[in-house]
Structure 1
Amino acid sequence: MPLSHSPLEQIPLDRLPIQRLTSDDLPACADLSEDRGWPREEHKWGLLLAAGTGYGIDDPAGNGLAAACVVTSYGPGLAAIGMVLVAERYARRGVGRRLMRHVLAEAGDTPLSLYATPNGQPLYEELGFAEVGRSEMLKGRFTATESAPGRAVRPATAEDLQHVLRLDHEIFGADRTHMITRLPAFADQLRVAEQDGEITGFGAIWPNMDTHVIGPLIARDLATAQALVASLAAATDRPLRTDVDAGHTGLVTWLKANGLERIATNAVMMRSLPDLPGDWSRRFAPLTVAAG
């Protein structure tokens, strides 16, 4: 008997149909992460698929997803592309380019940001993205060898939310209410720094496999950022991981002195804007690089 084939197997890889992903596709997205040697990161996938728009290409052979990514919109002024993954069996065969071209067409004139690995950066440059900065991924057990400056830090309350949202909009440069309001449920700890009754920064740690990720980290200055990190680190016995804007050399040096090590660097890239909006000097770490 002749072997039966999926209809998708008859379509050239660079023309495969692209579908919208939902939270129901979370297991397939986690499988795709695992296929590429990444952690499954189901908690993070859940947030991104709920708050953003997922795009996927089915494997023509019927084995889950061949490729996927998520776009998190912050209105007409900015959207972030993240979790761009292509199954190992389809790597370097045009599937990733097919997915990205579709996303760019969907975005239209909306400026786009992303964090690029060294492997992915050449494709993004080909598609019109330009490097505007660098990010350092740090990981390790926080030792508190070098203490943090004295700043008042406390757990966030429901009454703080509107103040946090205003501060975040000012510093991030776009409205990410739909992400920040999910933090109390998504994160294990959400804390604010306060001076003279004014909230001067906030930070969270959220679970990701065997680590806690610090992000977002928004602060008036380095001392406030250090105080937030120290307070968050004291609330967990897991190793910490965070992605710090490489321009914040003071925080990077302090974190390394306290037991974290650099495990990767990524390029921060933009399309249709010369730089990220907002105030980078007070934006120390993203919620996750996948969401900008």
Structure 2
Amino acid sequence: MSTPLAEVPIRPLTLRDLASCAELAADRGWPPDEHKWRLLLTAGTGYGIDDPNGTGLAAVCVVTRYGTPGAGHAGELSVIGMMLVATHHERQGLGQRLMRHAMREAGNTPLALYATRFGQPLYERLGFTVIGQNVKVRGRLLSPPPQDRLSPEGITVRTATAEDLPAIVRLDTEVFGVDRTLMITRFPAFAEQLRVAVDGSDVVGYAATWASTDADVIGPLIARDAPTAKALIASLASSTDRPLRTDIDARHEGLLAWLKEHGLDVVVTSAVMVHGTDDLPCDRGRRFAPLTMATL
């Protein structure tokens, strides 16, 4: 006789759970993207509830911690992502159990997440508040102007090198508001492409693509301004024949309009939510897209 689901403990996930995480994502209609799960489970901490029937995982979530532990409210942030419950176990309180566990583990550290319209009511009950909106777009970038015409005067977009990594980390910390070094230093191995926008000797923007099941995902995307962001996107698009997908902060209306004019369609809009803080520490004017919706 199997253990009642309510009595199955929450446990940390390891890389041995990669296949089960991918299967659970596919069960919910999400891309399985096993290499993304590998990144999340090495750069963050996964929590799961085993299916008592012995058929994989009944529910999972991942917490990615940024900043220096002990740095205090302004120097730390935890992001909750990949909250998934198997379809045959939904509406049994597993999502709430995992969320409360993740919140206890975070302690006093501010929390952030992207919420689907289905998950938002749960997060609101747990004390999360909406601070913004995120727009997912997908498609092929059609006939953008040449990159050299998009780039602001003095800006060069090129493939990043190992020597650029310290500058990328510095820019990311400045714009994101907390230190993400442990995540950023994994980009060269994870990303299909990594580009920088350079003004003289200064890195003023960077962007990457990574391969999902159905598209190349642009993220993160950090840039001095919208024209620089467009030049980075055009550079990345020029090196792939696959559809593109990205998640743009809804406040960047001009960039969203440009993407739609050039062939990308809105897929879904989701809420940006926080707990334990009034807002994200980032510079929203230069932060255009996250690495993934699981990591912010």
* Bucket of the pairwise TM-score, normalised by the shorter protein: over 0.9
**Residue in 1 that maps onto 2:258:** 254
Q: CA deviation at 1:196?
A: 2.0
1:228 aligns with 2:238: no
Q: Please list, as runs of the form range in 1=range in 2, the aligned pairs for 1:94-133 lying within 5 A after superposition.
A: 94-133=93-132
Contact map agreement 2:144 2:234 (CA 8 A) in 1: no
Secondary structure of 1:215's match? strand
Contact map agreement 1:155 1:191 (CA 8 A) in 2: yes
Q: CA deviation at 1:145?
A: 4.0
TM-score by length of 1: 0.95
Once the two structures are aligned, what percentage of the paired residues are identical? 58
**Residue in 2 that maps onto 1:84:** 83
Secondary structure of 2:100's match? helix
Listed one character per residue, the Cα deviations across residues 56-86 of structure 1 (whole Å, up to 9, x for unaligned) are 0011222211100100000342010000000
- Structure 2 counterpart of 1:182, from 180, 183, 186: 186
Q: Please list, as runs of the form range in 1=range in 2, the aligned pairs for 1:197-208 lying within 5 A after superposition.
A: 197-208=201-212
Count of aligned residue pairs for this structure pair: 284
Query: Structure 1: any 5+ residue segments left out of the alignment?
Result: none
TM-score by length of 2: 0.94
Counterpart Cα distance in 1 of 2:258 and 2:145: 7
Counterpart Cα distance in 2 of 1:258 and 1:179: 31
Secondary structure of 1:122's match? helix
Counterpart Cα distance in 1 of 2:214 and 2:197: 27
Letter in 2 for 1:93: Q
**Residue in 1 that maps onto 2:73:** none
Q: CA deviation at 1:210?
A: 2.8
Q: CA deviation at 1:23?
A: 1.1
1:72 aligns with 2:64: yes
Contact map agreement 1:51 1:179 (CA 8 A) in 2: yes
Question: Alignment RMSD, CA only?
Answer: 1.1
Q: CA deviation at 1:16?
A: 2.9
Letter in 1 for 2:129: A
Counterpart Cα distance in 2 of 1:216 and 1:112: 19
Contact map agreement 2:31 2:214 (CA 8 A) in 1: no
Letter in 2 for 1:180: I
**Residue in 2 that maps onto 1:34:** 26
Counterpart Cα distance in 2 of 1:123 and 1:57: 18
Counterpart Cα distance in 1 of 2:24 and 2:103: 22
Counterpart Cα distance in 2 of 1:234 and 1:52: 32
**Residue in 2 that maps onto 1:48:** 40
